[in-house]
């Protein structure tokens, strides 16, 4: 049957699929619009299945703060070209909307959330079919605080940070502290706020590495533990936030700077939590 250009355009407007895909869908569906939509969705599902094992190491990180609640997400694709496209960024915005509205517990629950009458999972299948790349919601985190939330997105949206301070003070120094610490986390990639928050398995792994290094350097067995403990202290100084050198003034560490700001503001200040998402990293 003859498929008019107007009908093809109407299907394209409804689904966002390419003109040739719309024309084929209508031809396969004998011009029935609803059947054509189903056809395109099935095509998207088939494409998604084919792309399942592909690597998706590009994408974006996005953040949002509203009324004491904070959200950070990472959505991946295969190429930077797609990561900058309207369709992909629109899907990422839908993911953020779903998380803010439903507060899902995990990715599976997120995919079941409806946005404008369509589940995130269906939207995901549809965009994979339309774009032809693997797309995935890699991770997200939510914050709920009576303190203060600070967000930072590095230019290019490949790296983002959400940081929570205990103080809700409007003091200018506290506000600036939040911004500086978010940038500190982005730049220096700490593994934890302080040494007490470093998981025991990470500590043991580091100690094993340092003992082995010392052993290979010919150090006596009775010195291995002491050497390893000394190097672990240096690890804490480099990889825990409050022990790192402050990026804006390396004559002091972050803890010392926080204490100075708290004294000036007349209000205790502490970092309660942070999340750092970088596109393509393992988590």
| pTM for this entry | 0.80
Is 228 a residue whose pLDDT tops 60?
yes
Domains of the chain: 5-51 (1.10.8.10), 58-144 (3.30.479.20)
DSSP label at residue 216 = H
Average pLDDT over the chain, rounded to an integer: 90
**Given a cut of 90, is residue 165 above it in pLDDT?**
yes
Specify the pLDDT at position 51. 53
268-280: per-residue pLDDT in tens?
999 999 999 999 8
Q: Round to whole Å and give the CA distance between 254 and 268.
A: 15
C-alpha closest to that of 16 among 77, 88, 76, 74: 88
- pLDDT digit string (tens) for 99-145? 999 999 999 999 999 999 999 998 998 888 888 888 999 999 999 99
> What Cα–Cα distance (Å) separates residue 226 from each residue in 157, 203, 204, 214?
43, 14, 14, 10
């Amino acid at each position: 049957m003859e498929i008019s250009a107007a009908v093809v355009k109407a299907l394209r407007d409804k689904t966002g699929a390419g003109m040739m895909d719309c024309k084929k869908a209508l031809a396969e569906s004998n011009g029935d619009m609803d059947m054509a939509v189903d056809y395109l969705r099935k095509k998207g599902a088939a494409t998604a299945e084919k792309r399942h094992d592909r690597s998706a190491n590009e994408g974006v990180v996005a953040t949002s703060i509203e009324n004491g609640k904070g959200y950070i997400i990472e959505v991946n694709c295969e190429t930077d070209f797609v990561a900058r496209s309207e369709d992909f960024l629109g899907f990422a915005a839908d993911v953020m909307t779903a998380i803010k509205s439903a507060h899902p517990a995990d990715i599976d629950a997120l995919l079941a959330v409806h946005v404008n009458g369509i589940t995130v999972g269906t939207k995901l299948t549809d965009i994979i079919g339309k774009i032809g790349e693997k797309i995935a919601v890699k991770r997200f985190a939510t914050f709920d605080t009576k303190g203060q939330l600070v967000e930072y997105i590095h230019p290019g949206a490949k790296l983002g940070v959400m940081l929570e301070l205990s103080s809700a003070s409007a003091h200018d120094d506290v506000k600036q502290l939040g911004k500086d610490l978010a940038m500190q986390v982005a730049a220096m990639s700490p593994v934890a706020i302080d040494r007490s928050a470093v998981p025991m398995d990470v500590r043991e792994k580091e100690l094993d590495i340092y003992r082995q290094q010392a052993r290979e350097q010919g150090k006596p067995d009775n010195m291995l533990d002491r050497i390893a403990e000394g190097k672990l202290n240096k690890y804490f100084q480099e990889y825990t936030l409050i022990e790192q050198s402050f990026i804006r003034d390396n004559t002091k560490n972050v803890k010392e700077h926080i204490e100075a700001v708290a004294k000036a503001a007349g209000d205790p200040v502490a970092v309660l939590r942070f999340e750092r998402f970088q596109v393509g990293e393992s988590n």
